[in-house]
Each structure stands twice: as structure tokens, then as C-alpha cells.
Structure 1
């Protein structure tokens, strides 16, 4: 279960409002970001809050062969939380996770970021 868990809270995001309000925009971003550094999406669930006429935010999870990504938007606060965990069972996926996380953060253009890294499990012998 050795892995890297990245957690971030993004405040005062200056991205296009659609990225905070549209489940379709969030899905496209998450899948594109995961594929770029070599992470492997194997499933996904996304949900639109509000209505088609008055979208209120979106939440989504991408199940990765390496573990998962979860992103939640709060357009009324211009805020986002994200959670990316990769296991390092057959290879070290830490570089890919950090790259994906940095690209996600950049996409939302936050003025302030609170970010944590948690090393999970123990190193294999």
C-alpha cells in the first residue's frame, strides 16, 4: 500500500466560470490531466449540482489503475478541493501524481493554495 496522497484546497480561483460550474468541463479536464503524465483512468463518476439552467458546481471521481482522483468545485466560493492518491506497488507513480496535481491547480488559477503530501504505507523491501 505504499503510495503518495496529494490533497489541495484552492481559493479565489480565477479560471473561466464554466470550469467551476460545468460537470462536462470538469470531466474533460480531469481525464485529460490524468492521461498526460501516464496515469490510467479505469472508471469515472461525475455529478452536476443545481440544474441545467442554474448549475451550482460539480464533483467528480476518476478511478485510476494507480488509485484515484477526486475533485469538488464550489463556484459560489470560487473554490476547489482535490484529492489525488497513487499507489507505488509496481512502480513509483509519485512524479506522475505531482505533475497531474500541479496541472490541475494551474487550470483553476487559484490565488491561494493549501496543499499537503502524505506518504502512505511503508516502502517495499
Structure 2
């Protein structure tokens, strides 16, 4: 088994061409995210979804593995999604593909980044301890 080199792994997904009515419905967004978390085999701890006036939704699902965050711009048919996990072993694709369909997105783009490089953290802590 490979040792983790980072504390966190972040996947950002941009969904384009989404159904404006769906991505502006608070209950729909909450249901969609909870179903996606289940498909990704993530453990939900808490959910906070906020409906803006006059338009848009933002929310966070705290998961045992870290978090899922969403921001919608119905006026642009666009959704920004962020999934942050403590390791790379989670199968996120099933949930992402399900969300694409649920949002009615015509396409999506995703990017991965590593957060909290352990070597960098150790080096900074060593410098701190030298002072």
C-alpha cells in the first residue's frame, strides 16, 4: 500500500449547460448531493444548504472524509462543485456522472489538486522549531 504524501486531495468540477430550474431548487440540490455522496461511498455528517434571493444555491456537506461544497449560478446554467477527501481511495466518478445527469449538464470539466504536502509541512515545522 502506498503511503499518502499529502493530507488532502481536492477535485473541482465545473458543470456547464445545467437546467436552471433544477440548480436553483434547494431541496433538489440537497437530495442530489446526498445521493452522490452515497454513490461515492462517503459518510455524511452534516448538511447546510443556503438558497440565495433572488437566485442561486450554496451548500456544504460535511463528510467524515472531509467535505463536498457546491455553488450554483442558475442565470449562467453553471455549477461549481468541490470534493475534498483525506485520501485518493474514494471512487468519485459514479457520483460525478450521476450529478451531471441530475443537473442536466451538457458537459463538465474536472481538475485534481493535492493539498497539505507532508514533506513541506515537516520542513516548515522543523524551521519553526529551530527558532
TM-score, reference length from structure 1? 0.77
Give the secondary structure class of the aligned counterpart of 1:94.
coil
Which deviates more, 107-116 or 63-72?
Answer: 107-116
| 1:35 pairs with 2:44 | no
Are the aligned partners of 1:8 and 1:81 in contact in 2 as well (CA < 8 Å)? yes
Out of 83, 98, 106, the residue aligned to residue 103 of structure 1 is 98
Structure 1 residue aligned with 2:128: none
Unaligned 5+ residue runs, structure 1? none
Are the aligned partners of 1:6 and 1:101 in contact in 2 as well (CA < 8 Å)? no
Displacement of 1:101: 2.6
Q: Please provide the CA RMSD for this pair.
A: 2.1
Are the aligned partners of 1:4 and 1:94 in contact in 2 as well (CA < 8 Å)? no
Give the secondary structure class of the aligned counterpart of 1:114.
strand
Structure 2 residue aligned with 1:119: 114
| 1:68 pairs with 2:64 | no
1:66-106 C-alpha deviation (Å, 9 max, x unpaired): 00001111111101000001112xxx5332x3332332233
Displacement of 1:34: 0.4
Structure 2 residue aligned with 1:19: 22
Mark the CA change 1:38 to 1:46 in structure 2 (over 3 Å): closer, same or farther: same
Displacement of 1:120: 3.1
Query: What count of residue pairs does the alignment treat as equivalent?
Result: 113
TM-score, reference length from structure 2? 0.74
**Structure 1 CA distance, aligned partners of 2:98 and 2:70?**
13
**Structure 2 CA distance, aligned partners of 1:23 and 1:99?**
22
